[in-house]
Amino acid sequence: MSSEVDMYVVFTGDTGHWWSRFIREDMGHCYVIVPSNGKFIVAGKNTAKYDLYNVDSINGIIGPNDIMLGYKQEATSANLFALNTCVGNVKQMLGIKNPFVWTPYQLLKYMRKHHG
C-alpha cells in the first residue's frame, strides 16, 4: 500500500439486484478501504445497511476479480445532488462532486481519467 494515497476504492462484481441489467456485471458495487495505524477501515453502503468495520488484513475481503484503485482524497463538502447508493457514498468520501457519475464503472473511469 502506497503512502501517496489516502484511501482505496474497491470495485466488485454485481450481486444480482433488479438494476443489474443497467450496469456492468463485473462492476456492480464499490466501497472504500482506509489504511489506519497498520489496520484497515472498510466503509461502504449496500442496499440493506451501511458497513463500517476494521480488519487487520484486506486479503480476506478483496476477491481475485476485484479492482482496487488508490485515491488522494479531495476536500469534501455536502453535495446537494448525491444518490444514496454505493457510488454516491464513495464520491462523498473521496470529495468527487461530478453529478453525472452514477455507476461503479463510471466512477472507475472518472478516477482513472482525473487521478491516474
Q: What is the pLDDT of residue 110?
A: 94
pLDDT of residue 3: 56
CA distances from 52 to 11, 31, 41, 98 (A): 17, 10, 7, 24
Query: Which of the 8 DSSP states describes residue 73?
Result: P
Say if residues 7 and 69 touch (Cβ distance below 8 Å).
no
Residue keyed to cell 495505524? 37
**Cell numbers of 103, please?**
455507476
Q: What is the mean pLDDT of each run of 10 residues along the chain (116 residues)?
A: 77 69 72 92 86 89 88 73 81 88 91 82
